[in-house]
Amino acid sequence: MKLRYRIVRRITPLTTYEIIALMIGAVISSMIMATILILPLGVNPLEAYFQIFRGAWGTRLALSETFVRFTPLLLCGVAVALAFLGGFWNIGAEGQLYMGALFATYFGITFYGAPPYVIIPLMIVSGFLGGSLAAFVPAILKSKYGVDEVVTTLLLNWIIFYIVQAIIYGPWRNPVSAWPETQAISETAELPTILPGTRLHAGVLIALSIAGIYLLIYMKSYWGFEIRLMGINPRAAYIQGLDTVRNMVLIATISGGIAGIAGAIELMGIHFHLREGISYGYGYTGIIIAMLGLLHPVGVVLAAFFMSTIETGTLAMHRTTGLPYPLALIIEGLILIFVLIAIFLKDYRIERVMEGEK
């Protein structure tokens, strides 16, 4: 007899707890793989992980910095999760974030000195419109002509990034410092700090509010049901009479708009100038967050907090142990790989087959 293995689709779906256990297992597996990479560097992995969590949660300032990083990560995670839920594979949250920051910068400079109750909502709305515009074209190409949105949204990331570069190195270059960044936005456009002595600003409350709206759409609204149906089987959704073209464009533009708000909030809460480094890959990390959170609002919030912990804590780990900061990017990449494996195992299983030798 010869022992073989084959992959078959699961007949009985996994329970919610089993799926959560799969995701936790994916995170643990990624940490084990990271441990293997840490060992040759002469640092105790347990000490390294302790420094990560101590650096992210150990002090009031550290925790505030974790929430500062949590804000754009949550918004990008919600943006990607909403798009993926409806079957629109939005890989362009990074570019949409930059487009939102670009639009918000225009109003922050043009309406210099406007009162906060005018300029702050105006910049947030303009950020939403900028991100929506960046997602609108791929949505039309996808819904009308079947063009692969993975390609169009991914390529638009670089197009938008280089447009921003051209602007800040050219007509919007800071006239005072001559640095490749715009002049500062109006002080009245800066988001208020909610924890004195830290950089934690009111943007975190906006991000949590948007996550709450996503939860209501996901759990309580008929449109949320339509989105999930489109994501599971767009043909069945069309047969049921849903306007799949309209919904696809709406899902994509709202997704892009949320990522655009992330750019506007980063501008208004942290940087105050439009510059190249306004994002540290938040849009790409949002993909990992959406997948790790299983597109569920609560899962996305938890995944965003976990990823912000890793990114913030790794800086502290670098200072105390000497391990390179790019380890955070390695951990994120490993998490994505193992999460994809976990998602595969959610729908498929490996079974043994005994057969006679030929």
The one-letter amino acid code at 344 reads: F
Q: Which pLDDT tens digit goes with each residue over 120-131?
A: 999 999 999 999
* Residues 300 and 293 sit within 8 Å (Cβ to Cβ): yes
* pLDDT-derived band at 259, boundaries 50, 70, 90: very high
Is 264 a domain residue?
yes
| pLDDT score of 286 more than 80 | yes
pLDDT beyond 50 at 93: yes
Is 345 domain-assigned? Answer: no
pLDDT reported for residue 313? 92
The three state secondary structure string of 342-357 is HHHHHHEEEEEEEECC
Partners of residue 351 on adjacent β-strands: 6
Mean pLDDT to the nearest integer, 321-334:
85
**Cα–Cα distance list, 52 to 62, 302, 313, 332 (Å):** 11, 17, 4, 14
Flag whether 329 is in a domain: no
pLDDT surpassing 50 at residue 204: yes
Classify residue 35 as exposed, middle or buried by CB count within 10 Å of its CB (0-12, 13-18, 19+).
middle
Query: Would you put residue 146 in left (φ > 0), alpha (ψ -120 to 50) or beta?
Result: left
Task: Give me the pLDDT at residue 355, please.
Answer: 64
- Kindly report the average pLDDT of the chain as a whole number: 92
| pLDDT score recorded for residue 136 | 96
Alpha-carbon span 263 to 120, nearest angstrom = 13
User: Which is more confident, 333 or 259?
Assistant: 259
pLDDT in tens, 23-63: 999 999 999 999 998 888 888 999 999 999 999 999 999 99
Domains in the chain, number: 1
Asked whether residue 2 is assigned to any structural domain, the reply reads no
Distances (CA, A) of 61 to 196, 202, 279, 312: 10, 16, 21, 11
Over residues 177-206, the mean pLDDT reads: 94
The lowest-confidence range among 34-48, 70-84, 145-159 is 34-48
Contact call for residues 30 and 292 (beta carbons, < 8 A): no
Q: Which long-range contacts (CB under 8 A, 24 or more apart) does 338-345 make?
A: 338/25, 338/26, 338/27, 338/29, 338/30, 338/33, 339/23, 339/26, 339/288, 339/291, 339/292, 340/291, 341/26, 342/22, 342/23, 342/25, 342/26, 343/291, 345/22
Q: For residue 247, count other CB atoms closer than 10 A to its CB.
A: 21
Would you place residue 357 in the very low, low, confident or very high pLDDT band (cuts 50, 70, 90)?
very low
* Under 8 Å between Cβ of 184 and 112: no
- The reported pLDDT for the residue numbered 209 is 98
Coil/strand/helix, residue 279: coil
- Mean pLDDT for 201-219 is 97
Confidence of residue 1 (pLDDT cuts 50, 70, 90): low
Beta bridge partners of 259: none
Asked if the structure places residue 105 within a domain, the reply is yes
354 is a domain residue: no
Query: Domain range spanning residue 135?
Result: 44-322
- Percent of the chain having pLDDT more than 90? 72
Lowest-pLDDT range of 37-46, 99-108, 131-140: 37-46
Domain assignment present for residue 56? The answer is yes
> Hey, what are 9's tokens?
């689709």
90 forms beta bridges with none
User: What is the model's pLDDT at position 356?
Assistant: 55
Mean pLDDT along residues 187-201: 95
CATH code at 220? 1.10.3470
Q: Which two tokens stand for residue 189?
A: 């456009």
